[in-house]
A and B are shown apart, each in its own frame.
Chain A
């Protein structure tokens, strides 16, 4: 095929084959309304569509560039599965491309499923090549494919050796009986439930995993019997029905919280009228109705929750908001941002999912009821709801390992049809529903609201959602474990004796360098205090154990008390109501739901306990990092949450280095070479959509060879200036000092240049056509605005706000501070801020320690820096909402108040509050 060296040149993955290519393709840079571009070759392989720029080398020397580079997918690579839609431009008109073409377009626009938009100009390419590449791309991305032809298999076959060493990532894969038993033990469900292996080798059902868990009283033979084994119905009824009836006993999810066993069953719908199914259902129902099981509540998902069509329709509208061809289009849609957002109703769907999950949590937690989830295949909304509930109830699922195990258990082993839902084989567009993405978005809302409760970051969720479309990982490319096993098994018989070794997505080192992987870890995560090792024994899964310890009895008791109280209260309430008037049950439910929700949100958050999301309008947000990351207009360089985060990281590093220093002195008593912690991760350069948007922006650099140097120089210059500024900031303690003249001069130069450029531009325009003045103004305005925003921010220079729709917010602290529903205890920005303050205090205390040593030269009694200002108690609208809630003064003198004044009083009360937090 081709020589070895050319493979290296293209950076092809093992097993990848070149299908067609075209040279001198111009890739437009999106931000300039398609006026500039890079020349290069467009290549289509059986893995991806790649654009290879002619001038790649300039990119290499940027540090930030490599910081978060994906090792598998480059920034100009689109895997074939990631292509969403392809458009061609014929004489300025955009048309969707599919099937056989009569005429070939001069421009190709590719919309990706991760919401990137690529523009390729084919005007300078040979006609022959255009034909080949366009039809090649269309064929390979849109024609239906066979499972066997997935790149997955050729990759696995070619890279057999290199991926042989299976690294220890501690995710529980749930593909052995041991894993299930372990999970049972972890959740303390082994009294009432057992793991069974009746389905080993998929003897009973292909939709079920090989191992699963059922209630103990149910005999294994029973399971077999109910599954239609040997019963004539299974052969007469369609196989689908059998599949349905089989699905239910398998999907038992055990959640053990606070000493009560609570569980969910995922059962098939009974709509089918299948007698066997009904019988099974009744039996199961009876089984779990008997003591020691509690009352069961059934939840029929499709009929009173969401339909897949709704999700599909909402998402396809929603994603159009972000698939923007040029900045003109962006500004046009920007005016109507909120109403567009509303009309897509995607946020509403997220809200309904979260609400449903809270409802079920309420049943499990407060009412001690079991819940049966019913769905036709038990593999879409069931997965979504049950895994959301688990994220909310089980702190283990909020660690990275735990979350991965959860996805593995509920989605991969639970038989979510990834192949169909992601439409990997292009067989039916109707089946394509982003259920898993919806789940990730729901989790993101939780992460956003309660940052300290999660071990992973939003970046983690984003890259996970991207991994759905990378066909070298087997995780998301099968409809069921059965399908996976059979496909791998056959392969091994045909060719070699070795079975195929497929990669799992959980091995992040395949995609990212260790440094980039740190971005997946949340620095705000409050790790749980570890228990004594002696308390629990066991050699397996030692690592996980630490993260996944069930709630210790002592800790949960107050909470339990709280719930008891609540439940008592509830019961009374309900009884009272029943007596007083007749009410329908849904109303009642609504009521208890509200009560549960409100009472939970009025207590301080326990990050290692139950976690409920907020579902009020203002709290459901757009997942900016995922959806807006490729749109240059929407990013704020040096701003947003990311800036606070990076500051925090800096602080943490500093603390660590100080701590290390103290430790070192302690142990070795040797002279210490003061190594400056030179970790200047300059926050001014980070975009608010970091780490994604940055990549793209830098990629546009070598666009114009003539001005490219200028641009580069400019950047460097700015970088220098930034450092200057930071230093200045240090010295400028009083901050009332006027900025020194020298500081502003480089900036002036920069603006001069810009002005020149502008003037030329304007002149050119004036010659070419008559334009009215307001338009022109608009134009220069835009240019100025864009050019400023594309540079790193200088905090001590000119500062321009962003005026895009997504960036103009509701000022929550001011408008919503009195509305109890709208606050998140222990969440929001305030949590980050308080963490920052904590860190600062820690730094200070460390310094004090150093000071102390300095003066006294005495041995240091290791005093733990006990500065726990519990961020869990702060409301997101701190300090206002809190004041209202906690202000407690013992006595009220009649006259003295006037003199004291309420201001001072407020300040005092706050201090008190902080003390409380300490205790």
Chain B
């Protein structure tokens, strides 16, 4: 831990003098002014980039950018110190092993049982039961036990009853990274379902009987409709390009009774750049009106958000109105597919708009289906090209919905921000690793969800609270009434 006096610059010319501490987990800056001693805490895992700028007369400036978009400019008087800080921060901000992450040193003073309970809070089999599964059409398959078929899928998967293990395995061989079609959401009102997979390895002409049978099985699992939608969430151009690489999309001629649809959501690289541009717009110092609007439109971020919402609406419509099942895929079926499936489920099912339901939704569509948290959010030192704000976009979609319908959600904006914070902070084990398999190999426990249970109430949900208050009021009024009837006699 260093003990250097530093100057902090937020945005104006005013600078605060203070001390910088580096701990094993945080960067802490404490101001020297005796009465306030303002502190700024930054978690190492939140640090996205560190920049050392050219030395000036006052000292050596150091710019720290965080993943939650906070930026901190420090000026260290001694260049040597600055270099030390820089080097150690680079090391600390990019751990190499999982064991170095914050969640392994974070001790919320819970004993082992309590921690285990934290992990028990979300039970996916309970969730499938809520959807009305298993039933006559869908069953739990053990084909992926010990991750034999697909290592990025969970072990417990729901597939159509008519799909035999042979069909599933055959289908998985025809799908990128063996991610075969599996159930994501079941709409019990009309038996329609949302399934997810990765792209087929169709190339220009390849066919696979089992894969075709698999899609038939999904269609038959919904007696209300004689076709299924296959939604490719990529722009058509990208899908064509993939076809040249031996991958691609379903040919409507080969699969009977499917309706194929492209929805152009751009890939992770476009999204990453878009966010970067958007942040630049937000960080402009006193931008003119036209700078702002022009920048906002040009970064395209809101357009991408809209594309995801569009896809969600399309699927929600297919499921609820047309009663048709939908198979969603993108390239590997873990980024855009997760976004789209979870948005559609959120639109369809009010349960996912509750606190518990939202956590279940993330657990189901993101964590269990192998969204690559580690790669996308850069928990461990890795390829910067893999980093992309995929789940951030989903959370933002939810926020947009919340902005439009403030009364429809049990949780609030803060809850979303907390989730987003912890996706990057690695304070809890939930968002570690790239898949269930990796996670199981690590074996750890944590209690993130417990925190939300305790920490956010009662301010978290205005609507819920209001309802409770209302009910209580009514009860009290009744009591009051009863009381009043007794009362005159008391006084007489």
Contact residues of A with B, CB < 8 Å? 336-339, 341-342, 345, 347-348, 351, 598, 616-618, 620, 636, 638-640, 643-644, 647, 651, 654, 658, 661, 665, 669-674, 676, 683-684, 688, 729-730, 733, 735-736, 738-739, 744, 748, 751, 754-755, 758, 777, 780-781, 784-785, 793, 795-803, 807-811, 813-822, 833, 836-837, 840, 843-844, 847, 850-851, 854, 857, 879-880, 884-892, 894, 897-899, 901-905, 907
Contacts and interface: CB of A to CB of B under 8 A. Distances in A.
A795 to B, nearest CB: 4
B480 A800 contact: no
B9 to A, nearest CB: 12
Contacts of B136: none
Contact of A880 (B28, B37, B288, B417): B417
Contact of B39 (A784, A800, A811, A887): A887
A821 B306 CA distance: 27
Contacts of A809: 302, 400, 403
Contact of A898 (B10, B24, B350): B24
Nearest to A890: B37
A801 B317 CA distance: 12
Interface in B278-292: 278-279, 282-292
Contacts of B58: none
B70 interface: yes
B356 A799 contact: no
B316 interface: yes
A755 B427 CA distance: 48
A339 B293 contact: yes
Interface centre among A348, A748, A799 (most CB of B within 10 A): A799
Interface stretch (B111-119, B159-167, B470-478): B470-478
B296 interface: yes
A643 B462 contact: no
A748 B109 CA distance: 49
Given A739-B351, A844-B469, A889 B316 contact: no
Contact of B473 (A672, A748, A843): A843
Contacts of A897: 23, 26, 28
A598 B12 contact: yes
7 contacts: A342-B297, A617-B292, A676-B477, A785-B317, A801-B309, A892-B39, A901-B106
Interface in B90-128: 105-109
Nearest to B288: A348
Nearest to A335: B303
Interface in B57-73: 68-71
Interface stretch (B199-207, B369-377, B436-444, B481-489): B481-489
B314 to A, nearest CB: 6
B455 interface: yes
A799 B417 contact: no
Given A638-B405, A799-B353, A799-B401, A843 B469 contact: yes
B414 A879 contact: yes
Q: Which 5 A-B residue pairings sit nearest by Cβ, starting from the closest?
A: A617-B292, A338-B297, A348-B289, A342-B293, A674-B481
Nearest to A646: B407
Given A640-B406, A814-B69, A892-B21, 18 more contacts: A336-B297, A617-B287, A617-B291, A647-B462, A661-B477, A688-B404, A733-B468, A735-B355, A755-B323, A780-B317, A800-B316, A801-B309, A807-B404, A816-B282, A820-B10, A843-B473, A847-B473, A898-B25
Given A809-B400, A899-B107, A795 B309 contact: no
Contact of B407 (A643, A811, A880, A902): A643
B459 interface: yes
A639 B463 CA distance: 13
Contact of A847 (B106, B348, B476): B476
Contact of A784 (B288, B317, B354, B470): B317
B38 interface: yes
Contacts of A903: 427, 451, 455
A593 to B, nearest CB: 11
Interface string B394-432: 001101110111111010011001001000000100000
A902 B26 CA distance: 9
A347 B293 contact: yes
B96 to A, nearest CB: 20
Given A620-B289, A840-B466, A887-B38, A795 B407 contact: yes
Interface string B70-97: 1100000000000000000000000000
Contacts of B41: 902, 905
B320 A840 contact: no
B125 to A, nearest CB: 15
Contacts of A684: 407
B54 interface: no
A819 B283 contact: yes
B253 interface: no
B294 A342 contact: yes
A638 B313 CA distance: 18
Contacts of B306: 803, 808
A815 B301 CA distance: 12
Nearest to A822: B282
Given A674-B478, A755-B321, A889-B39, A898 B23 contact: yes
B217 interface: no
A730 B289 contact: no
Contacts of A811: 396, 399-400
B357 interface: yes
A670 B313 CA distance: 57
Contacts of B414: 879
B401 A658 contact: no
B11 interface: yes
Contacts of A902: 26, 41, 43
A907 B460 CA distance: 13
Contacts of B288: 348, 351, 617
A781 B313 contact: yes
